[in-house]
Structure 1
Amino acid sequence: MPSERSFPPPLYPLSSPRPAPPPPDPASPASIAYTAALEDELQSLPFLTAHRAREDAAEWYETRPHAAIPPEIRANKLTSGALAGPGRLALLPLARVKKDESEALIFVHLGRGLCGHDGIVHGGMLATLLDESLGRNAIINLPAQIGVTAHLGLRYRAPTRADQFVVIRTSLVSQTGRKAAVKGTVETLDGTVLVEADALFVQPKYAKLLSASVVRQHMGEPPKEPVLLAEGEGKVK
């Protein structure tokens, strides 16, 4: 007889998914409590805490993309507006980024309201998250720090189950002039690769008409390094 641990079989959720209620009202007390508990879970993920404790931890910084966007603007953003909330993207992503901007890890929780097949996250949703994550890695390396997607290639390796945290790994492949090539994966916290991707981002010729500071704010800026003053400088007499 199969052990309890082996049931349900891997394909069972595809053919007979468990029923799930629709995403709740984000303003309800239950939703607020759920989101707070999910944030606590994020902060205590073994993968994340281990990365924070690495020997090279000082070479990385942490940021929350979208967090600095004013609420009235964020409301019309796809991932941090229309798709935000319990049951969908309950938390803003948490990014750990190498200070030389060569690579990043982005932690995201995927709710049941993001599915194509019930219980399985829609491939288009994963494409959107990869576009944003790869875009951040590429654009911050472009001269004007403004860019648009010229190419996004995806290879889906395994179904992505809903109601779980995933990590999106991105890395810079090359940057020449107005072009930056990047690659990345969506993985489970135990390292199973769900999606592979490669992308090319291009700095448009109209970049000078746009505000790079606003773009950086949306992507999540690196923390400001403290300015060390020589003894006696900066004092009010």
Structure 2
Amino acid sequence: MSFLPRTLSRLLRTQSPATRATINLTRTTIRTAQTEATSSTLNTRPPPPPHHHSFQHTHTKPSPPAHKPQFQNKTQKPAVPEDPIATHPLLHSLRADQTLKETRPHLSMPQHLRPAHFVAGTLAGEKKLTSAPYMFISRRDTSPSTSESTDANTTATPQHKPHATTLFHTGTHMCGHPGFVHGGFLSVMFDEVFAHTVSQAFRSGTGMTANLNVNFRKPALPDRIYVLRAEVVKVEGRKAWVEGTMTMLADGAKGEDVMVAEARALFVEPKFAEKMVPVYRN
């Protein structure tokens, strides 16, 4: 009975039988309570970890987003803007001309060269140069050229002068002053079409701009179709002179075509032309 207080043991020896029975009952109650407490302690499991425990969500799947991405279906493709040139009557008229060769040089350009190309890459896109220009170039003449010697200098004029007609559409994000197409963009288009045209005049098929002169006649408007006509007027050795006009086509049956600019340029065939990447060779 070492676990009972000494006072309780002394009372058991000195008290009456009734008191002693009461004390024994108290002792039994204490012993039973201690035994139950010990058993309860041994059989009780630790409480579960709180909900914010780091392992609680180790394998929990994330909740699905409230809104699915617009192009989640891999088979779904973004809508391609309609080509405003594809149904134009002038395009069909040019296609009917057997003396012209249709080409879209920016689409046939090697894929890895397009991003670095100013027209095919930087200027191309929605609301800019909205589609790859349609270009119709005169077929290369295989007959021998004529030469006229008037003095010590010999000027060779090809019997068939290369010429080209190009259709392109200008979006709304190519403006200088609000509501008017930037003149720099028009100059770039002259230079681009001239380069393709003059490629027919050089043996290497490559010429570089030496001089470009543009005269602006009327304001050019955005979201319109333009036709650019170019012609090689003279070839002298490694030099070729090109002239051309740019016309804004009528918007609807009531409108009229308006010539917005004209230009002339000098191109030179570089001595290292054969080593250049053939971007402008048709």
Normalised by the length of structure 2, the TM-score is 0.60
Structure 2: which amino acid aligns with 1:51? L
Matched, 1:47 2:111: no
Give the whole-Å Cα distance in 1 for the aligned partners of 2:138 and 2:243: 15
Residue 206 (structure 1) aligned with residue 272 (structure 2): yes
Provide the residue aligned with 1:189 in structure 2: 249
Partner of 1:88 in structure 2? Answer: 128
Opposite residue 138 of structure 2, the aligned amino acid is: K
Whether 2:202 is the aligned partner of 1:142: answer yes
Specify the code of the residue in structure 2 equivalent to 1:116: G
Name the CA distance, whole Å, in 1 between partners of 2:130 and 2:248: 18
User: How far did 1:206 drift?
Assistant: 2.2
Conserved? CA contact 1:148–1:203, under 8 Å: yes
Alignment correspondent of 1:234? none
CA distance in 2, matches of 1:127, 1:88: 15
Give the paired residue count: 181
Rounded to whole Å, the distance in 2 between the matches of 1:208 and 1:70 is 18
**Cα-to-partner distance string for 1:57-92 (whole Å, 9 max, x where unaligned):** 111110001112233320111111111111001111
Considering Cα pairs closer than 8 Å and 6+ residues apart, tell me whether 1 or 2 has the greater RCO: 1
1:151 counterpart residue number: 211
Q: Unaligned regions of 5+ residues in structure 2, if any?
A: 1-75, 141-160, 251-256
Structure 2 counterpart of 1:65, from 105, 109, 117: 105
Q: How does 1:82-231 map to 2 (within 5 A)?
A: 82-100=122-140, 102-190=162-250, 191-211=257-277, 214-216=278-280, 221=282
CA distance in 2, matches of 1:112, 1:173: 34
Moved over 6 A (4+): none
Q: Which one has the bigger helix percentage? A: 1
Partner AA of 1:159 in structure 2 = P
Distance in 2 separating the partners of 1:52 and 1:139: 21
Separation in 2, partners of 1:209, 1:45: 39
Distance 1:88 1:95 in 2: 18
Q: 2:80 aligns with which of 9, 13, 33?
A: 33
Aligned counterpart, 2:31: none
Contact 2:201 2:235 in 1 (8 A): yes
Secondary structure at 2:193's aligned position in 1? helix
Return the alpha-carbon distance in structure 1 between the equivalents of residues 169 and 95 of structure 2.
19
CA contact (8 A) 2:162 2:200 kept: no
1:116-140 CA-to-partner distances (Å, cap 9, x unmatched) read 0112110001001100111111133
- TM-score scaled by structure 1? 0.71
Checking the alignment, whether the CA contact within 8 Å between 1:139 and 1:201 is kept in structure 2 is no
